[in-house]
Amino acid sequence: MPNKITCLGSFVVDLTCRVEHLPLPGESIVTDYFKMGPGGKGSNQAVAAKRAGADIVLMTKIGTDILSTVALESFKKEGFDDKFIIIDDANFTGIALINVDKNTGQNSIAVAPGACEHINDNDINLLKPQIEASDIFLTQLEVNMDAIEKCINIAYENKKMIVLNTAPVRQISDDLISKATIITPNEIEASILTNVEVTDIDSARKAAHVFFDKGVENAIITLGKKGSYINDKKTEAIIEPIDVKTIDTTGAGDAFTGGLVTALAEGLSLYKAVEFATATASLSTTKFGTAPSMPYRKEIDDLIKKTYV
């Protein structure tokens, strides 16, 4: 049986347009493609993990507005325990406004987290026994920081593996960083958090050592088309990206993190877990959307066999 994972994270409704190019400041673009669907970093990562076979619980918070129905329908479909889906009468369900370049797959995103920025002590008390009963605690930076800090402290005090995905990036304390077992920034996030401009393997190595000086045990820095840099203080490695037909990169980072925690929960080494995460992320870019693009376990296993075996 895989180990249990608890995720504290965001849910937002993705409002996505595909455009000929990402708009410049002040530019309006007409498009014939629009789609609404479930998203948010916490929800996306939890969906990715669940579809990949993980035993995972998600806590998030939504409003009572019309967009909340998108959340509730999605959580029911994916099989999440609604005990940890908190309804907030005072705040709106989060939204993300997404433009995707139909030629390159690149995207630009504006997020209004809404209710999931208002996770309070009552919500945390509800989640506390679940964190204590889990083996891995996963979180990002898309809910209110005081909730993140309190839940990481619960996980840390109970000696759980803590996976901290540093998106969307914001300044966080060295004390919080020091409690992460694994930190998973991309090159931009790593640059901001370490003051090392990360552009290649050498600079990723320098950034990883800054994280180690702050107390982190393992660093995984994703470098886009250059792959993923892994360092566990003893050894380092690069996992190359997998060549697939990319049509939409939105949510690829979330797919990576969801795949990573799934593999770790199954006892894979950090290196093998990043291979699994890379396959998960690669597959997500071959479909449109965020949560809807997350691959299922058979797809991941098939790509891993084709790529690494």
In this predicted model, what pLDDT tens digit does every residue of 298-307 receive, in sequence order?
Answer: 999 999 999 9
Would you call the peptide bond into 168 cis, given omega within 30 degrees of 0 as the criterion?
Answer: yes
Of 81, 82, 254, 301, which is the active-site residue? 254
Banded pLDDT at 1 (limits 50, 70, 90)? low
In this predicted model, what pLDDT tens digit does every residue of 191-208 receive, in sequence order?
Answer: 999 999 999 999 999 999
| CA dihedral sign of residues 174, 175, 177, 181 | positive
Among residues 239, 249, 238, the alpha carbon closest in space to that of 282 is found at 249
Q: Helices 121-133 and 145-157, interaxial angle, to 10°? A: 30
Among residues 128, 242, 252, 122, the alpha carbon closest in space to that of 186 is found at 252
In this predicted model, what pLDDT tens digit does every residue of 28-73 receive, in sequence order?
Answer: 999 999 989 999 999 999 999 999 999 999 999 999 999 999 999 9
Radius of gyration of the chain (CA): 18
Contact 180, 193 (CB under 8 A): no
Residues 149-171 have a mean pLDDT of 97
Distance between CA atoms of residues 201 and 193, nearest Å: 17
Structure tokens at 293: 């693009």
Residue 279 one-letter amino acid: A
Contact 247, 293 (CB under 8 A): no
**Which residue ranges form the domains of the chain, and what is each CATH number?**
4-10+40-64+79-86+119-308 (3.40.1190.20)
DSSP state of 186: B
Distance between CA atoms of residues 43 and 254, nearest Å: 9
Distance between CA atoms of residues 186 and 189, nearest Å: 5
Distance between CA atoms of residues 218 and 266, nearest Å: 18
Q: Does 302 participate in catalysis according to the annotation?
A: no
Full-model pTM: 0.93
Among residues 50, 74, 54, 51, the alpha carbon closest in space to that of 62 is found at 74
